Structure formats: C-alpha cells, structure tokens
Amino acid sequence: MKKTAAELVRHALEQLGVRHTFGIPGVHNTETYDALAGSATVRPIRVTHEGNAAFMADAVSRTNEHLGTLLIVPAAGTALAMAGIGEAFLDGIPMLVISGGTHGSHGFKYQLHEIDQLAWVKPVTKGAWRITRHRDVVPTLYEAWRTATRGEPGPVFVEIPVDLQMIPGEVDELPAFDPGPQTEAFDDGAIEAAARLLLQARRPGLFVGWGAVDCGASIATIAERLGAPVATTLQGLSAFPGDHPLHAGMGIGPAAVPAAEQAFADCDVLLAVGNRFGEIATGSYGLRGGWRLVHVDINPAVFNANYPAEITIAGDARRVLPALAARLQALGGDAPAARGTEVAQRIAAAKQAYHDEWLRHDSRGRVNPARFFDALRAALPDEAWVVTDDGNHTFLTAELFESRRARHLVSPTDFNCMGYGVPAAVAIQLTHREEPVVAIVGDGAFLMTGIELSTAAEHGLGVVVCVFNDGELAQISQAQQLPYNRKACTVLPEIRIEGIARASGARYLRMESDADIERVLQAARSEAAQGVPVVVDVHVDYTKQTRFTQGIIKTNLARMSVGNKLRLVARAAWRRVVTPA
C-alpha cells in the first residue's frame, strides 16, 4: 500500500495513545498537522512559542499515562524547544519530539532550515532518528516510544523530511503497537542485604526523589516498619504524602527545613531511592554523609557519583521497593514501637516551630508567604495540581505547601529553566479539566511565558496563575545582597501584570496584603470554574529567606578558601560604608 509519512505519523500516534501534540505549524510540517486535524483521538495544540510547547509536553508526561509530544518545525522550532527538551532530559521525563525536515529528494543545497538536527539534539536526548523511507515511519516512532519510556525516561527526537510527509510511498503494513516485554531484573541478594542493614540501624532514614514518585504505599510501609523519617528532593516532593506523620520535608542537610535537618541529624543508615544526590537535592553538596548508604536507582551511573554507597540496587523503584518491603516483613524485624512515635513527634514539633516562625515574621503590609500557602492548601482539594517555576517562590512552595498526592506538585529541577510554570500548568489543565490547577510563578518567570495564557483562554481552561510579584529576580538578588551589598541586573522595571493578563484573555485579581488572601483565592477559584484563566498578582514579601537559600549560601561560603572569604567580606564591608543600605 501507499501512504504519506503524515498519514503514518497519525496512525503511529493514535496507536501510542498520544492525546495531544504541542507546537506551531510551518512549511515543513503542515502535512502532518493536516493529517492530525482528522484524527478522532490526537488533538494538535498550537502554542505561542516552541519552548512553551516543550514545557507543556514535559508536564503532560509528568502528570498522565500518555506521552507528552511535540510537533515542531526544524531548526528554529527545535532551537526554541531546546529549553524544555533539556528540562525533560535532566529531570528524567519521557517526551516524544517530532520535527519536520528539509527535502531529501530534490538535491538542492542551502534549503530553508537546513541544519544537522540530530547532532544538535544528541546531548539532550536518549535517541534521535532521521527517517528516509516511508516504511520506517511507524516502526521508528514505536522504537522512539520504547526508548523514551524504558530505563531512566527521557526525551527522544524523530525528524521526518517534508517530501516524505507530502508524497505517498510504499509501506508493508500498518502495524498495531506492541510495547513488548519489559524484562528488568534486580539483585535479590542486594535486597536481602539492604533489609538486614536497615533493620540493624539505630536511626534509619529514607530520602526519596522523583524516581520513587509512584511508590508512596511501599515507602510508607518501609518507613512505618522502621520507624524512620522520610525526606524528599525538590522534584520528588509529591513522592510521599506531606500529611504523613513521618514526612519530614525537603532535603536532609543544612539547607533543609528544620524538621528534616533534625530528623536526619543522627541517621546511621540512609535508604535513598530515585535520588541522584544532585546539587539542589543536597543543598549545593552541603550534606555530610556520615550514614551507611543503601542506594536504589534505575540508572546505575548515579551510584557513588557524589556519595559512596555500601549497597546499590539498580532497578525500577516500582518493583524494588515492594520487594524490599516484603523482605523486611519476612525477616520479622520491626523497629521499637516507640521509635516511630518519637520521630513523628519530633517532626511535628519542628514543623510547627518553623511555621510559627514564618507567621511571626513582619511582612510590612505585603503578603506573608506562610499565610498565603496556608490559605491555598485550605482552599484546594487534595486532587488539585500545583505547578512551580524556577525562583525563590519554588523553595517557598517546597517549604510551606503540603503536597498530598503523587505527581500533583510539579517543579522543574535540574535544568532549572525559568518560564516553565505557566505553560506546564496550561497543559495540566488541558488534560485534567475537572480538577483545579494552580501555578506559582515569580514575576521574572511570568514575563518569559505568561502570554501562553492565551492558549488557555482559547481552549476554555480555568487555570489559576499566582504571580509572586516583588519586582526582583529574588532568588538571585538575595544571593547577591550578602557578598556584594548591591544587586546587579536583578531588579525589574515596573511591570503592569494586569495588562499582560488581560491581553492574554485572562481575568486579573490583585492581592496586596494578608487581609486579601482568602477573598482573592476564593474569587480566583470561582472565576476559573467558568473556564477562564485567572492571574492573581500577589504582592509577596520576600524579606525572609528560605532555609534552602540560607543553607546554600553558608555551604558555598564555607567551601571557599580563607583568602577568598576575606576578599568577599572586605568588599561587602567597604560597600556598606560607601553605599549604606
């Protein structure tokens, strides 16, 4: 039979269960857009910017069973999408990127968009293919899906030349998709050794990341059996319910919230799952690893990279943790009953003290972050989705907002790209129309991608975007203030957020002080329920630093040589004399 590549792409995506593609049509992919316009199950979504399309596809993969998919033009489209592709790559998120390609048959050189895309995307993808025959389209897309989703997930890239999309070519069949067997073994001996070591521990602890996001029940079983605290990475915040009495918070070192720092201060055996011990997770590597480490991860390359492990178990946490929980039970050892109670009491007391500290803080007539997040948590059902961006608001959310459902708190982490929040929230609302979606973004991040709310307005999506407005790039400006005593390029000009909101088709609400919090959040939810995006302009108080910011500043200063410390201190002191605050 003869089919165009555009028709074959449609067949493959329908078979793969893809529900939406994100991108912008251009001369190198209009045939595929036309083919998808006739699909009963795949809906192409036009966006304002291919970078936003990639953030949207990333968010779909994080919060759905189907694969987030891009459909973009080559060269320029791929260049703009690279930020989101890189985010997915470093965060371990599956994504399918389909790009048009230049003509492969007429022989002319210097075509529009002619560039070696496969070489370009190689560092940020798990696999990349350029299709040259019609009969390869469907098998290649199936193989790309397997590559994206098997092992440690990540993005894949498929380039399909425009002439193949337009001109019919020979294909042998239109095969149904068969994912094939997923044979992944793990070391039973290591499971046994890990169980025995954990049962022997005096003060065991669990430190879990995104790789354990679907393992909440097993984590709870293990933690309760051991009487052990559970901390998460930033990306893994939703991997364990925040209202569980053994949930200590984000991080375990000097950049962690007090409950987690105290709960893990005397940890002698640490079980780390789906956690690479990266820079953010460790507070700029401020952890002092005095524990014996049991490390579980789907990617064995992470073992011993930053912290030495006594026992390593390579495998999917969704299979490893139930096996470990069963082995702990079979060995018949339970922690002393008082241990779990004591740990939970210490966590609760430390959480309450930290919360009270925030409530006592004088926010000088602006919105106190703790009061904001208290009200937001009270206003949202547990099944609501919360999305952050990159900035100071990210760590405020991590420290002050309680996530209770797996995957329902989404945050860019290792690529750490500003601008993620709005498009990601729009995509999550698109795929979860009946559940509330709230984005927490900084004013600097909103300036990057806030216009994508026009896509939400076009599709009747009542997403709520809370813009933490302080007039600065706060995470960096706070880090500048101590060593420099001045802020370079981190103070923003006056931005009329209302204008951006209304230009995008969104409603605008203003929250100036604590007295406005509950009323404005209630109004935002009411407006959003009508299928209209809402921007809440939150005049937030950022004068109190998060524990994360305090911790990484101290860690990085401590790492410097005495000479460099003296130089920084002398410069800051001199500037305080010359230009006092």
Q: Kindly report, residue by residue over 294-324, the tens digit of the pLDDT.
A: 999 999 999 999 999 999 999 999 999 999 9
DSSP reduced 3-state for 452: helix
Give the pLDDT of residue 336.
73
Mean pLDDT on 165-182: 91
The pLDDT assigned to 41 comes to 98
| SS3 track for 148-205 | HHCCCCCEEEEEEEHHHHHCCEECCCCCCCCCCCCCCCCCHHHHHHHHHHHHHCCCEE
Predicted local distance difference test score (pLDDT) of residue 507? 98
Assign 242 a pLDDT band (cuts: 50, 70, 90).
very high
Residue appearing with tokens 């926010």: 363
| Residue 196 in this model has a pLDDT that exceeds 90 | yes
The answer to whether the beta carbons of residues 555 and 283 sit under 8 Å apart is yes
- Mean pLDDT across 477-504: 86
Q: What is the pLDDT of residues 267-279, one digit of tens each?
A: 999 999 999 999 9
What pLDDT does residue 199 have? Answer: 95
For residues 261-292, b (16+ Cβ closer than 10 Å) or e, as one string?
Answer: bbbbeebebbbbbbbbbbebbbbbbbbebebb
Residue 333's pLDDT is what?
A: 66
Write the pLDDT tens digit of every residue in 29-78.
Answer: 999 999 999 999 999 999 999 999 999 999 999 999 999 999 999 999 99
Mean pLDDT across the chain, nearest whole number?
94
In angstroms, rounded to a whole number, what is the distance separating the alpha carbons of residues 126 and 163?
Answer: 26
Is residue 575 over pLDDT 80?
no
pLDDT, tens digit (0-9, with 9 covering 90-100), for 373-384: 999 999 999 999
Q: Which amino acid is at 292?
A: R
- pLDDT at residue 113 in the model: 80
pLDDT at 334 over 70: no
267 vs 429: CA distance, rounded Å: 40
Q: Dihedrals φ, ψ of 370, to 5°? A: -65, -40
Q: SS3 of 128, please? A: strand
Q: Is the pLDDT of residue 3 over 90?
A: yes
Indicate the residue type of 45. I
Inform me whether the pLDDT recorded for 482 exceeds 70: no
pLDDT of residue 565: 76
CB 425 within 8 A of CB 397: no
Q: Please tell me the predicted confidence (pLDDT) of residue 306.
A: 95
Give the mean pLDDT of 529-537: 98
Q: In this predicted structure, which of 127-136, 156-165, 173-182, 517-526 has the lowest mean pLDDT?
A: 173-182
**Residue 211 in contact with residue 298, Cβ under 8 Å?**
yes
pLDDT for residue 203 is more than 70: yes
- Taken as a whole, the chain contains a residue count of 581
Distance of alpha carbon 201 from alpha carbon 223, whole angstroms: 13
Q: Where are the alpha helices (DSSP H) in 40-170?
A: 50-63, 76-91, 117-121, 137-149, 162-166
pLDDT at residue number 518: 98
- 484: confidence class by pLDDT, cuts 50, 70, 90: confident
Q: How much is the pLDDT for 7? A: 98
Look at the block and give the residue holding tokens 């020979």.
170
Bridge partners (DSSP) listed for residue 21: 44, 69
Percent of the chain residues past pLDDT 90, beyond the cut: 84
- Rounded Cα distance between 542 and 395, Å, is 12
Q: Distance (Å, rounded) from C-alpha 535 to C-alpha 557? A: 38
pLDDT for residue 233: 98
Per-residue pLDDT, 348: 98
pLDDT above 90 for 397: yes
Residue 207 has pLDDT above 90, yes or no: yes
User: 114 versus 265: which is more confidently predicted?
Assistant: 265
What pLDDT, in 10s, does the model give residues 345-389?
A: 999 999 999 999 999 999 999 999 999 999 999 999 999 999 999
